[in-house]
Chain A
Amino acid sequence: MSFPLKNIISIKDFSKRDINEILKSAEGLEAVARSKEESNSLTGKILGMMFYEPSTRTRLSFETAMKRLNGGVIGFAETGASSVTKGENLADTARMVAEYADALVIRHDLEGAARYVSDIVDVPVINAGDGAGQHPTQTLLDLYTMQRILGKIKGLKVALIGDLKYGRTVHSLSYALGMYGVKMSFVSPDELKMPRGIVHDLNQNNVVAQETSDIHEVLDEVDVLYVTRIQKERFPDPEEYSRIKGAYRIDCNLIKGKDLIVMHPLPKMDEIAHEVDHTPYGKYFEQAFYGVPVRMAILESLIKSF
């Protein structure tokens, strides 16, 4: 059966069935992702990578995913070494890379860049993050991590913590969790609350999330703490930043005895104490690995259906 989506731009384009199909394919590809089995499913195919913004995990996991399926990768990881520095616009660069590749992955600092590119090229386009907008492949790997570790998504209780205003991963994730009937709590300082447009959309779909600034309110009832980084540059006053940062820091003392896991899209700074890394609570490195089978499933679905 061919996958119904041509592009992966926004989680809003997905039905629950589309998501389930990707998660199911990913599970079948885990052995290949771990190099325990080999696959030739994308032999002769080339993935074009257009990274206008720095990325470590997303870029490397896409490259790994493509190569594990025996495909090739071209593109740029920074704009300094490309024709972008000569002033070429995004439309022209994308049309050119699309002539060389069977699918494009784009990360850009402007919102809507991936949708724009998908409207003007013929090959499938995958959004690897557009400004403060969407990051749908991160969301798919987050869902996969919950399903893999906790055995289900439906019925879970998930707290999204930290910078909910600018953190694009939590925007995409909240839409998807809403589709699965997950009970959500948004935990953030007032300055970094979930944007009203997103809360509005969730309410339209009858999804209601609890909003609070106190992390202690949710600790006893959640299955997942999804932590995001609070960036210093969001606060003009360094004292204010220190105070807020401390109020959302996860350490062993805080979660001891609780029945939950801690996830993080990474990179993390000090919002999670290092001591948590080595406990059964900290699942973020496992989560980062799951980016590979999930992106393999996405690449296979798009390139083979195209």
Chain B
Amino acid sequence: MGRTMKKPKEMKVKPIKNGTVIDHITANKALNVLRILNLPDKKSKVTIAINVLSANMGSKDIVKIENRELYSSEVDQIALIAPNATINIIRDYEIVEKGKIQLLNEIKGLLNCPNPNCITNTSEPVINRFYVIKKQPVILRCHYCERIVEEDEIESQF
């Protein structure tokens, strides 16, 4: 007696009409990306894929957000934890802009120095500033106290 194989029901992720698709996110970092974007909120429709197959990366995460385009400061923050991510802006079902995230050589104001004794962790009127000394994995150096900031210390802030 041959067993009849159940045909899996295809799960359909509807394409979005307007919004942003963040693709090629480093595997298992989608939730950090959501935190950067202050999601979930009460109204945004968000689709998340975690640890899905990727031809180039082995595995990756994807985040789709309807009716939202990103600020450049948000993109810069995403670059810190997912330097290979691509951002697709969708308008009326068409990709109108597609771009790879660029991690800048200098990061200003996006995160705090983890050194509690750094001058930036006081009430002085100062904006945090870091130099990117390595891009993968991301390693930064504080402009002020020269402390090295490693990947886990960056992630823990998002």
Binding site for B on A (CB under 8 A): 10, 12, 89-91, 108-113, 115-116, 130-134, 196-197, 200-201
Contacts and interface: CB of A to CB of B under 8 A. Distances in A.
16 contacts: A89-B123, A108-B119, A109-B117, A110-B145, A111-B118, A111-B119, A111-B145, A112-B142, A113-B119, A116-B120, A116-B126, A130-B119, A131-B117, A133-B146, A197-B148, A200-B148
A201 to B, nearest CB: 8
A110 B143 CA distance: 14
Given A90-B119, A132-B117, A111 B124 contact: no
A78 B144 CA distance: 23
Contacts of A134: 146
Nearest to B147: A197
Contacts of B113: 112
Interface residues of B, number: 18
Interface of B is mostly: loop
Interface in B109-129: 113, 115, 117-120, 122-126
B145 A90 contact: no
A112 B123 contact: no
Interface of A is mostly: mixed
Given A89-B123, A91-B124, A110-B122, A115 B117 contact: no
Interface string B135-158: 000000011111110000000000
A113 B145 CA distance: 8
Contacts of A109: 117
B120 A112 contact: yes
Q: Which of B115, B117, B142 has the most CB of A within 10 A?
A: B117
A49 to B, nearest CB: 19
Given A91-B124, A130-B145, 12 more contacts: A91-B125, A110-B117, A110-B119, A111-B144, A112-B113, A112-B142, A112-B144, A112-B145, A112-B146, A115-B143, A116-B126, A197-B148
Closest 3 CB pairs of A and B: A112-B144, A111-B145, A197-B148
Contacts of B143: 112, 115
A144 B119 CA distance: 30
Nearest to A109: B117
Nearest to B122: A110
A18 to B, nearest CB: 18
B75 to A, nearest CB: 26
B145 A133 contact: yes
Contacts of A10: 146
Nearest to B123: A89
B147 A111 contact: yes
A199 to B, nearest CB: 10
Contacts of B117: 109-111, 131-132
A116 B144 contact: yes
A126 B142 CA distance: 19
B147 A89 contact: no
A8 to B, nearest CB: 14
A50 to B, nearest CB: 13
Contact of B146 (A12, A110, A113): A12
